[in-house]
Structure formats: C-alpha cells, structure tokens
C-alpha cells in the first residue's frame, strides 16, 4: 500500500545574496501539479545561510510552511502537506546572507485516500461495520491521521499503529495530523494546518508481521511540528494496560476511517475510476478520513500460538487500522485495532498488549531498558515492577526496586518530595544511583 508517490518536478532558484538591511524576496514561483492534492515539496539541495528561508504558501487556503536550515533538516528536506494542487514558493534572503539557493526535485502526493484496508483474517476485508454505522465525529488529538491509517500517542513518547500500515517493511513516512478538517464533498481529504502536522521519525519505526492477526503492530516516534512543539506535551497521551476487562466490557475505537455516501454505506463503493476502470477513490463524503468514534462490546482475548488479539463489535472501516482500543470504564487502552471481520458474521480484531514482541517494543522505546513511574492507579495491577504496564508508583518504590544505574521515566503527574528538573539523580556517590527523567509531559515533584 503506497502512502505517498513522488513526481519529478525540477525548479532551481539560482544564487542570491542580500546586502540590504531588510529581508528580500529574491525568487518566487508557482509549483503546480494537476491531480495531486494535497502536496508536499521535496528539496534536493538548499543553502539558506544564517537566517534565510523558503516560504511555501497554499493557493487553496493560504496555509504556509516556512523552512529555514534547521526546520528543513528536521522535516527531512520535505515540506509539510499543503492543500490544493498548487503552492507559491518564495526565497526570502536575510540581510548579509550570500549564495542562498534552493533546488526542488519532486512534488510528493501523500495519498491520504489510499487507505489501508482493515485486514481480514484471510486477506483484505473492505467493509467492517458491525450492522449500522454507529460512528460519530470526534476530536481527540491523542489520536492522529497518518497516510492510509490511524495512529495514537502513549505515555512514554511513543506512537502506535498497525504493522501492515508500514507495508510490513518499516516503510512509514509522512506526518501525524490532528485537528483534521472536513474532506471535500466528494471525499477528497484535506490536510491539517501546518502547525498540526508532526513529521514521523522514520528511523524510529519498529513493526511486527502485519499479515498475521495478533502480530500486527507498529511503534514509532515523532519529530516536532513547524513551531518546535512536541505532540505528547501539547495533546496528552493514553496510558496502556495488559488487563482483561472481561466479556461484554465496552470498548471504543477512535480513528480516521473511510466514509461513503450515504454516510455509513459500504467502503466497497467506488467514487471514481481511471480510464482503465480501476477504482482510484473510495470514501465519498466530507466525513471521509476525518476522526470518528464508536463503541461496542468486547468479546474475548484470543490466543493463537504466541499471538494475542481481542475480538469486539465496535464499528471500523478501512484506514481505522492502527486505532486505539479504549477500555471506556478506565480510559486505558488495551490494544491496537488491525483487522476487519464483522461482515463475515464475526467480530473485528486488534492486537493485544499481551503479545510479547509488541510489549517489549513499547517498553524499550526509544532505546535501552528504562523503568517507568506513574502515580496513577492501573487496573488489575497488584505488583508494580516498573515496566510501562506496571509502573512504580512512588519515588521511594522506584529507588528501592530499580537496579543500580537504572533510568526511570516518570509519566506526567505530581509526586511528593522536593525534587525538581527534567533529570534528577538520587544516590549519586553512594552504593546505588537511579536517574529519574521526565521524557514527556509535565512532572511536578514537590510538597
């Protein structure tokens, strides 16, 4: 499933310098590619001096992405998504900068409507509604849209999605979008505002076997948005649980699935075809690939060899793949939605956190073997041994239990005792040292 396609597009600004006291617009051009919307611009090379920048402006809605040297590097030399099929590119040269230039080599089509099907147990299952479509619009920014799928934020700074969203080879690119606007009336998705796009850290992607139910998972990280903001710090996160809520517990699926006209009709419907008769567009109304949520009943936890997955009858559609399975009674998440099967008289499925390779990848993100501390009560947990599913609850518990030289990641919250800062070391110079870090969110340690 391609999540983006690049089209060759050559544009060179030439070399520019600025001896004036004010910033000058030294080059301007329209970049346009029919049929490609939204689009991203890829730069083969650029020299932006100390303070010069490239300004890209959507001709559809005026959204802008300004890229200086640091921003261009953080975004991997590719702009944010901009709506429409045309943008204006301006080269803004700062006073005193010399030899400033930019070279475009391609325009990228993010293919937001090229959805990942909710994979059926024996192949694609394109329609996965469990009866009538009970999904309703929602606005939980802990859940974001990625090309073809859905992803969501967890407490240690990681992001989760389905393994088949990576083409089963770690190929995951593009951005994590929140505050996604309505699609066009024909279902064509529109990109979120530039500040609501967080580029995927492609080097952080870990994944399981997306062709096997219960082994279908993906863990990755995000880079900062165009304002330098962290998604977890800005929007919060879900806590995770390996507990079994029990049969008939209510679960919620929130994500960015397909929606057709009339609303709730089968995702098998095709909105448009190319000259060869191949369907090029599914999802035919303004709710298509926007955030929707719905609830259903949990059936049971399946064990198939080493695999672990949940059954439930909450509605999903293609591109819901990767959505959180939320245990509504607690607000904790218990797994990742991956698989559609309701139309076969069965249930939809999702990988459970009891699956060891997924649990290990989550627990070790972004590297090493950190311990965790969180003063929130975790459902069904009697012994807290410091992993992400059973974090230590207090500083004293973490210090006394963690091994020497351990690092403890502290989940957002308020803790007793007078300590301060993002990194606190306890026991330095003694026989045991434990370092406490706050990698995500705000942690208050005081009286």
> How much is the pLDDT for 225?
96
| Residue 351 and residue 380 in one domain | no
Query: Binning pLDDT at 50, 70 and 90, where does residue 443 land?
Result: confident
54 within some domain: yes
C-alpha to C-alpha distance for 386 and 372, rounded to whole angstroms: 5
> How much is the pLDDT for 418?
42
| Residue 211 and residue 334 in one domain | yes
| 93 Cβ neighbours under 8 A, 6+ residues apart | 16, 17, 18, 23, 24, 25, 26, 49, 52, 100
Q: Concatenate the DSSP letters of all residues of 244-312 into one string.
A: ---TT-EEEEEE-----TTTT--TT--SEE-TTS-EEE---STTTTS-EEEEEEEEEEEEETTEEEEEE
| Residue 88 and residue 168 in one domain | no
Query: Binning pLDDT at 50, 70 and 90, where does residue 441 land?
Result: confident
C-alpha to C-alpha distance for 346 and 335, rounded to whole angstroms: 19
Torsion over CA: 159, 165, 166, 168 (sign): positive
> How much is the pLDDT for 429?
57
| Residue 65 and residue 135 in one domain | no
> How much is the pLDDT for 444?
75
363 within some domain: no
| Residue 176 and residue 303 in one domain | yes
DSSP assignment, residue 343?
Answer: G
| Residue 246 and residue 293 in one domain | yes
> How much is the pLDDT for 61?
97
114 within some domain: no
Q: What pairs with residue 175 in β-bridges?
A: 199
64 within some domain: yes
> How much is the pLDDT for 438?
85
Whether the ω angle into residue 233 lies within 30 degrees of 0, i.e. cis, is: no
Give the range among 125-134, 142-151, 208-217, 356-365 with minimum mean pLDDT: 125-134
C-alpha to C-alpha distance for 218 and 3, rounded to whole angstroms: 15
- Mean pLDDT score, 397-406: 91
pLDDT digits (tens, 9 = 90+) for 308-365: 999 999 999 889 999 999 999 999 999 999 999 887 678 999 999 999 999 999 999 9
Q: What percent of the chain has pLDDT over 70?
A: 87
3-state secondary structure 47-113: ECCCCCEEEEEECCCCCEEEECHHHHHHCCCECCCECCCEEEEEEEECCCCCCEEEEEEEEEECCCC
Instruction: Please determine, for residue 218, whether its predicted confidence score (pLDDT) is greater than 70.
Output: yes
| Residue 282 and residue 146 in one domain | yes
pTM of this structure: 0.92
| Residue 185 and residue 248 in one domain | yes
Query: Binning pLDDT at 50, 70 and 90, where does residue 252 land?
Result: very high
Indicate the residue among 63, 79, 109 that finishes a domain.
109
> How much is the pLDDT for 176?
98
Indicate the residue among 42, 77, 109 that finishes a domain.
109
Instruction: Please determine, for residue 420, whether its predicted confidence score (pLDDT) is greater than 50.
Output: no
> How much is the pLDDT for 146?
96
Cα angle at 282 between 281 and 285, to 5 degrees? 105
210 within some domain: yes
Question: Whole domain around residue 375: which residue ranges?
Answer: 368-445
Of residues 62 and 427, more confidence is placed in 62
| Composition of the chain by helix, strand, coil, percent to 5 | 10, 40, 55
| Residue 189 and residue 269 in one domain | yes
Torsion over CA: 139, 142, 145, 151 (sign): negative
Instruction: Report whether 249 contacts 334 (CB < 8 A).
Output: no
Number of domains in the chain: 3
Of residues 396 and 297, more confidence is placed in 297
List the alpha helices (DSSP H) in 337-421: 356-364, 395-401
Indicate the residue among 109, 141, 159 that finishes a domain.
109
Closest CA to 221 of 243, 203, 246: 203
Q: Concatenate the DSSP letters of all residues of 361-378 into one string.
A: HHHHTTSS--EEE--S--
C-alpha to C-alpha distance for 169 and 113, rounded to whole angstroms: 21
pLDDT digits (tens, 9 = 90+) for 256-291: 998 875 654 555 566 666 666 665 556 788 999 999
pLDDT digits (tens, 9 = 90+) for 104-128: 999 999 988 766 555 544 444 445 8
Q: Residue 191 maps to which CATH number? A: 2.40.10.10
Give the range among 118-127, 247-256, 415-424 with minimum mean pLDDT: 118-127
| Residue 164 and residue 61 in one domain | no
Instruction: Report whether 294 contacts 252 (CB < 8 A).
Output: yes
| Residue 153 and residue 135 in one domain | yes
Instruction: Report whether 86 contacts 32 (CB < 8 A).
Output: yes
> How much is the pLDDT for 369?
86
| Residue 78 and residue 132 in one domain | no
């Amino acid at each position: 499933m391609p999540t983006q396609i690049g089209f060759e597009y050559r544009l060179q600004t030439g070399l520019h310098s600025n001896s004036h006291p004010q910033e000058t617009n030294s080059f301007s051009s329209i970049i346009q590619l029919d049929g490609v919307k939204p689009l991203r611009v890829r730069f083969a090379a650029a020299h932006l001096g100390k303070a010069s920048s490239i300004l890209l402006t959507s001709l559809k809605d005026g959204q802008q992405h300004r890229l200086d040297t640091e921003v261009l590097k953080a975004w991997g030399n590719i702009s944010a998504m901009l709506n429409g099929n045309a943008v204006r590119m301006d080269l803004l040269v700062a006073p005193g900068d010399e030899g400033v230039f930019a070279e475009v080599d391609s325009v990228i089509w993010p293919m937001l409507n090229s959805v990942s099907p909710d994979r059926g147990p024996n192949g694609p299952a394109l329609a996965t509604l469990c009866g009538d479509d009970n999904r309703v619009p929602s606005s939980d920014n802990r859940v974001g849209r990625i090309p073809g799928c859905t992803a969501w934020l967890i407490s240690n700074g990681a992001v989760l999605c389905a393994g088949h969203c990576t083409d089963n080879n770690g190929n995951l690119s593009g951005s994590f979008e929140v505050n996604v606007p309505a699609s066009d009336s024909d279902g064509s998705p529109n990109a979120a505002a530039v500040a609501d796009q967080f580029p995927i850290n492609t080097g952080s992607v870990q994944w399981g076997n997306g062709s096997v139910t219960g082994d279908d998972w993906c863990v990755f990280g995000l880079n900062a948005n165009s304002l330098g903001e962290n998604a977890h710090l800005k929007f919060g996160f879900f806590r995770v649980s390996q507990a079994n809520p029990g049969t008939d517990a209510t679960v919620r699926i929130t994500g960015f699935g397909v929606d057709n006209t009339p609303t709730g009709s089968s995702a098998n419907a095709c909105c448009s075809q190319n000259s060869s008769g191949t369907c090029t567009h599914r999802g035919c109304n303004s709710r298509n690939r926007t955030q929707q949520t719905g609830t259903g009943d949990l059936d049971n936890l399946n064990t198939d060899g080493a695999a672990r997955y949940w059954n439930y009858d909450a509605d999903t559609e293609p591109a819901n793949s990767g959505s959180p399975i939320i245990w509504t009674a607690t607000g904790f998440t218990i797994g990742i939605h991956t698989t559609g099967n309701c139309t076969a008289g069965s249930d939809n499925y999702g990988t459970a956190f009891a699956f060891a390779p997924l649990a290990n990848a989550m627990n070790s993100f972004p590297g090493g073997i950190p311990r965790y501390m969180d003063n929130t009560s975790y459902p069904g947990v009697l012994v807290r041994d410091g992993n992400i599913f059973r974090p230590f609850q207090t500083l004293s518990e973490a210090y006394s239990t963690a091994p020497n030289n351990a690092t403890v990641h502290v989940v957002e919250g308020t803790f007793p005792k007078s300590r301060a800062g993002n990194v606190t070391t306890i026991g330095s110079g003694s026989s045991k040292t434990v370092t406490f870090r706050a990698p995500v969110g705000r942690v208050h340690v005081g009286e």
